[in-house]
Amino acid sequence: MSNGGDLLFKMPLDATNDFEYQLKIIAKRANYQITKQEVTQLLQNREEILKVNYLIDFSFNNMLYLSESLLTFENNGKRAYLELVNYLLEIFYYLRSFENQQFSDEEVIDYVLKIYQKNYQNLELTLGFFENHPNLEETYDEQ
């Protein structure tokens, strides 16, 4: 039996299985075959990101939206794609922890992707930008 704190961050098995199924369909469009182990790792990383940022997300919609949106960018294989999903999801939740719900989840994700593209798809530049500018209200309209 797990402790009560863990229950806040655990998704029901059917939701997890549905997420795995949907992610595999998304990844298949880029000819990536995602394994159960890779899905499990993504979900564990997501859970840790949520804990670090003191957030709760009751669905996988944001992760699926981000995963699908990333297919429009050039990726250097499945491993790079999965790493990018992790890092950009981390940025998304980091921004969410500072943001007062003025922007929808899709707007925040689209903004992260816009900055990623503006920085020549350079993850380090993108991470640096958001570390220096975590307040969306200050930079959203400027970009």
pTM summary value: 0.87
- Tell me the average confidence (pLDDT) per consecutive run of 10 residues in the chain, 143 residues long: 43 85 96 96 96 93 97 92 97 91 94 96 96 88 71
Looking at residue 115, its pLDDT comes to: 96
**Residue 10 phi/psi, 5° resolution?**
-95, 135
Looking at residue 9, its pLDDT comes to: 47
Report CA-CA distances (Å) from 48 to 55, 83, 141. Answer: 10, 15, 30
Domain boundaries, the chain: 4-139
Q: How far apart are CA 22 and CA 68, in angstroms?
A: 10
With 0-12 / 13-18 / 19 or more C-beta atoms within 10 angstroms meaning exposed / middle / buried, residue 124 is exposed
Looking at residue 2, its pLDDT comes to: 38
Looking at residue 135, its pLDDT comes to: 87
